[in-house]
Amino acid sequence: MALSGVEIFKLLPKTNCKKCGHPTCLAFAMKLAQRQATLDLCPDVSEDAKKILGEASAPPVRPITFGTGDRAVKMGEETVLFRHDKKFVNPCILAVEIKDTLSESDITKKTEEVLSSEIDRVGQKLRIDAIALTNVSGDKAKFEAAAKIISSKAPNVPVILATTDPAAAEAAAKLFAGKRPIIYGAGPVNAEAMANIAKAEKAILGVTAGGLDELSALTEKIKALGVEDMVIDSGAKKAKDIIGNNTLIRRAAVKKNFKALGYPVINFAQRDDSLHEALIAAVGIAKYASIVVLSSIEKWKNLVMFTLRQNIYTDPQVPMQVEQKIYKIGEATPDSPLTITTNFSLTYFIVSGEIENSKVPCRLAVMDCEGLSVLTAWAAGKFTASKIAAFIKESGIENEVKHRELIIPGYVAILSGSIEEKLEGWKITVGPREANGLPAFLKARTA
């Protein structure tokens, strides 16, 4: 585990010189422990202390950037086991396998699927991040030829070059020179040769072994050979072993600061049955994988995987927000009812879901309240009569609807009079307190 503030304090000069910008060495030590300051701010710290603190303050899971340019993806840097403790940092990378036994046209087709996989969801752009080319043929020439197709069709997509043959790895890696590919991988037999190639090509090295003992020994050996950036595979294929090994790896890194397993984890989820594969990938995404390799990327599956990854990796301390605007639900006409709520994503999802269930076409005005729910936003002075009136006026809704009636949540019934005062010509109607009352409420109005 990382050092505590007091443990760090013992290693500092204890001069309270303030050169680091903190009032005392103890205050500085506390900031260091929370990773809110870096040791280079202290000009007087001893070399010994630097070494100890440097090792202890490095993130427990090594940060690595895979690929280069716009499509580069970050891995590692994780500090916790549970997302409610602190945000999971770098979302799991999704890669699709392309076998070198496929025909040129099939390789091209799959590569193009990756390039066109991008979907926008709640304001985030989500996509298949990487390609994993596997040397299933065992033939160096085939592997190189397939790598050529990929490097020309998708020069910016990060690539995993999966082969146990050092010569094939080297030939393929040269096609991605300077692009930070992952060479996967090094096992107990070829570790030295693979480490040399990874070093020469400045590539990340995928390391695989049967079990965590052997894996730790191997990463230490490879580190001693001069390769720092590794991704690790415990050999787990079955869901049970993926959860078990990934959990032990993350615990060893985060709780014991065990450096030999402090690397991003790669899981291979390929299955014949695409839905089963999606669920194995879900196990990896929820339980600590930094890369999950899939065999197919159908659109429906991508949407499911992207959404799960987004859910698991959201910041639990920052409410998810939706964009402030007036949403049309169903085939809303200028006569359809207009309702209003706040922009906390959960509020929006529940309210819009209930309106959809009612089958009554509506407009839903979603007002930016910094992601607070209705009652909280009202209590915090963000969902007030004057703000609601201003939002409605500025939204331009008066040109879109024929009527002048706004339905407000029942919890803020108290606002109805003052909104009517501030929003001339409008009638305010008090809706149900809970969203689940909306279907009955809306249906009763149209009946």
Among 36, 47, 70, 82, binds other proteins (CB under 8 A): 82
Binding flag, residue 188, other proteins (CB under 8 A): no
Nearest to 274 by CA among 304, 292, 296, 249: 296
DSSP 260: G
Distance in angstroms (rounded) separating the CA atoms of residues 409 and 299: 37
Among 213, 335, 394, 424, binds other proteins (CB under 8 A): 213
Q: What is the CA radius of gyration of the chain?
A: 27
- 405-408 β-sheet, strand order: 325-329, 362-367, 338-342, 405-408, 427-430
Give the chain's count of helices (H) and strands (E). 16, 17
DSSP 292: E
Piece of the chain touching other proteins by CB under 8 A; list 44-52, 161-169, 296-304, 409-417: 296-304
Binding flag, residue 205, other proteins (CB under 8 A): no
Nearest to 180 by CA among 62, 68, 64, 293: 68
Site string for other proteins, 102-141 (x = CB under 8 A): -----------------x-x--------------------
Binding flag, residue 446, other proteins (CB under 8 A): no
Binding flag, residue 212, other proteins (CB under 8 A): yes
Binding flag, residue 346, other proteins (CB under 8 A): yes
Nearer to other proteins, 97 or 113 (CB): 113
Contact by Cβ (8 Å): 30, 24 = no
Binding flag, residue 167, other proteins (CB under 8 A): no
Burial (Cβ within 10 Å: 0-12, 13-18, ≥19) of residue 362: buried
CB of 312 to other proteins, least distance (A): 7
Distance in angstroms (rounded) separating the CA atoms of residues 90 and 312: 11
Number of chain positions touching other proteins (CB under 8 A): 61
Piece of the chain touching other proteins by CB under 8 A; list 7-15, 29-37, 222-230, 258-266: 258-266
Among 18, 35, 238, 403, binds other proteins (CB under 8 A): 238
Residue with tokens 């197919």: 296
Binding flag, residue 318, other proteins (CB under 8 A): no
Binding flag, residue 80, other proteins (CB under 8 A): no
CB of 153 to other proteins, least distance (A): 21
Q: What is the DSSP string of 79-107?
A: --SSTTTS---SPPEEEEEEETTS-HHHH
Residue with tokens 């307190």: 433
Among 104, 228, 298, 405, binds other proteins (CB under 8 A): 298
Helix (H) or strand (E) holding 113: helix 104-115
Contact by Cβ (8 Å): 346, 373 = yes
Distance in angstroms (rounded) separating the CA atoms of residues 94 and 373: 33
Nearer to other proteins, 178 or 447 (CB): 447
Burial (Cβ within 10 Å: 0-12, 13-18, ≥19) of residue 209: buried
Binding flag, residue 278, other proteins (CB under 8 A): yes
Piece of the chain touching other proteins by CB under 8 A; list 68-76, 158-166, 349-357, 390-398: 349-357
Helix axes 438-446, 345-358, angle to 10 degrees: 40
- Phi and psi for 408 in degrees, rounded to 5? -105, 155
Binding flag, residue 186, other proteins (CB under 8 A): no
Piece of the chain touching other proteins by CB under 8 A; list 149-157, 188-196, 297-305, 415-423: 297-305
Among 54, 316, 334, 417, binds other proteins (CB under 8 A): 316
As given in the structure block, the two tokens for residue 239 are 């869901």
Binding flag, residue 311, other proteins (CB under 8 A): yes
Among 90, 151, 208, 216, binds other proteins (CB under 8 A): 216
> What is the binding site for other proteins (CB under 8 A)?
82-84, 119, 121, 212-213, 215-217, 220, 238-240, 243-244, 247-248, 251-252, 255-256, 258-261, 273, 275-276, 278-280, 282-283, 286-287, 298-304, 307-308, 310-312, 314, 316, 345-346, 349-350, 353, 356-357, 436, 439-440, 443
